[in-house]
Structure 1
Amino acid sequence: MTDDFLLETRGLTREFSGFTAVNKVDLRVRRHSIHALIGPNGAGKTTCFNLITKFLQPSSGAILLDGRDITRTKPADVARLGMVRSFQISATFPQLTSLENVEVALQRSLGRSFHFWRSKRTLAPLREQAMTLLDDVGLAFAANRVVADLPYGQKRALELATTLALNPEMLLLDEPTAGMGREDVARTVALIRRISPNRTILMVEHNLSVVADLSDRITVLARGEILAEGAYGAISTDPRVKEAYMGKGEPAHV
């Protein structure tokens, strides 16, 4: 049933000067699931993600959010409908504290700018909510630390906290573990799992161990088209997927 799927694309296509980067992609993301979009370099993942998150307009096809056609809707309006790409609203202010950054995001979610000139007393109603969000991402201990002094993994966690300030129904994560060491990857995986209940998550991720650990369903792109789709067990043994990643005759560990 359509109601089971929060996000759908129908015939999604994007051409660049005669080159087809995404070709007639029909993607369906089930409500309250974690869905991964993967593929080898040049597969069209980033273009597809940018189309879904409205940073690019499709050449043809349609994008539906909860049954509503959002193909021509602006990114800010899509965010108000409950679909948020993490970096869209999570740019942090390096000279502010973690707590202040989340307060900025909370004020943005209310549709107003951050009031730097107001007293701390007038901003107090946001403080408890901001602390709850920091606690959700494991950063309560860093509430009063300046963001510029945080290690990379904690900055990424803070970005997720500022994203969650908008209380999105659907969260789109672009390479959430990129550039992280093993310990930070493990923390990020645990964090994504912790915030996933009652949310729908679509992520592009190169780290296939992360994909295997988190994903309910995986879509594999190759040459701009859907090559395979399913659970990790089926995807990892699919000869077409192995060939796409490794080439013929090569051992593959997908």
Structure 2
Amino acid sequence: MSEFILETRGLSKNFKGFAAVSDVSLKVRRGSIHALIGPNGAGKTTFFNLVTKFLPPSSGTIHFKGEDITHEAPAVSARRGFVRSFQISATFPHLSVLENVRIGLQRKLGTELHFWKSEKSLSKLNDEAMALLDEVGLGRFADTTTAEMSYGRKRALEIATTLALEPELMLLDEPTQGMGQEDISRVVDLIRKVSANRTILMVEHNLSVVADLCDRITVLTRGSVLAEGSYDEVSKNPQVLEAYVGSDDMSDAHH
């Protein structure tokens, strides 16, 4: 079994002659929390969309647990345990928090069409859903309508619905975006907790979050890998500091 759960080899994406992602080879170590950072326009989102199959690459390959999954449908990859956590849009705002997690569990079972399922199987799902909500600290909000929750708690719910799919590799896109400090620290604690026994690859612009949470960091700039290493190594790299100069993230880089 390879120590790398995810590997991209020479991954590139061109839009009308513009190289948004250029020859990115990345290895994500099993059991690590790996962050992708870089100034705005560095290609982080495009790379993430390539890895999670939202965009087909112009060239290069993606390997998950040693298998080439470059041209596999996202749903097939998800069944392998390779799951992207969606922004809030993945939750149903008018359903309760518990119902949202239960839908995630039904997806895993492939029974989303069996609305006539017996009460008994639903109550089993309720127990599982409650356990997941407890895991992300939302147990007491089980009956709350999702739309009424605070932003940070919605993100925690999103993580719970992702956990329902039992991912081995969890992909988080800007998990702390738009949050105040209290929500950020809550979500950071949550990510640390759910990272036990699984691997996380995250795009994150908040460098203090990255410093606090991540084992390994890859810095992208202009679509290419500029540097990789621990936060200490990367944050002292003069090229990295230079890449952040003139971008609004630089103030974070000095913390």
Q: What is the TM-score normalised by the length of structure 1? A: 0.94
Separation (CA, whole Å) in 1 of partners of 2:188 and 2:31 = 17
Secondary structure of 1:71's counterpart equals coil
The number of equivalent residue pairs is 252
The reply on whether 1:49 has 2:32 as its aligned counterpart is no
Structure 1 position 98 matched with structure 2 position 101: no
RMSD: 2.0
Q: How does 1:106-117 map to 2 (within 5 A)?
A: 106-113=105-112
Deviations 1:197-246 (A, max 9, x none): 11000000010000001100000001110000000001111000000001
Tell me which residue corresponds to 2:219: 220
Equivalent-residue separation in structure 2 for 1:216 and 1:199 (angstroms):
13
**Other-structure match for 1:143:** 142
CA drift of 1:88 comes to: 8.0
170-179 or 94-103, larger mean C-alpha shift: 94-103
Give the SS at the match of 2:110.
coil
User: In terms of mean alpha carbon deviation, does 85-94 or 73-82 score higher?
Assistant: 85-94
Contact persistence 1:104–1:114 (CA under 8 A): no
What is residue 205 of structure 2 aligned with on the other side?
206
Q: Cα distance 1:41–1:88, how it changes in 2: closer, same or farther (>3 A)?
A: closer
Give 1:120 deviation, angstroms.
Answer: 4.7
Consecutive unaligned residues of structure 2, counting only runs of 5 or more, are none
Aligned to 1:76: 75
Maintained 8 Å contact 2:88/2:155: no
CA distance in 2, matches of 1:116, 1:206: 41
> Does the CA-based 8 Å contact 2:87-2:155 persist in structure 1?
no
Residue 122 of structure 1: CA displacement?
A: 4.5
Name whichever of 229-238 and 84-93 sits farther off: 84-93
The residue that corresponds to 1:253 in the other structure is: 254
- Distance of aligned partners of 1:85 and 1:26 in 2 relative to their CA distance in 1, 3 Å threshold: same
CA 179–247 in structure 1, closer or farther in 2 if over 3 Å, else same? closer
**Is the Cα–Cα contact under 8 Å of residues 242 and 253 in structure 1 kept in the other structure?**
no
How much does 1:253 deviate?
A: 1.9
Q: Deviations over 1:11-59 (max 9, x none)?
A: 0011111111111111000000000000001111011100000000111
Q: Give the distance between the partners of 2:97 and 2:151, measured in 1 at CA.
A: 13
Q: CA deviation at 1:128?
A: 1.0
TM-score between the two structures when normalised by the length of structure 2 = 0.94
Unaligned stretches of 5+ residues in structure 1: none
Is contact 2:35–2:216 with CA below 8 Å preserved after alignment? yes
Q: Give me the whole-angstrom Cα distance separating, in 2, the residues matched to 1:31 and 1:38.
A: 19
- 1:79-105 per-position Cα deviation (integer Å, ceiling 9, x unaligned): 011100001897111111111111111
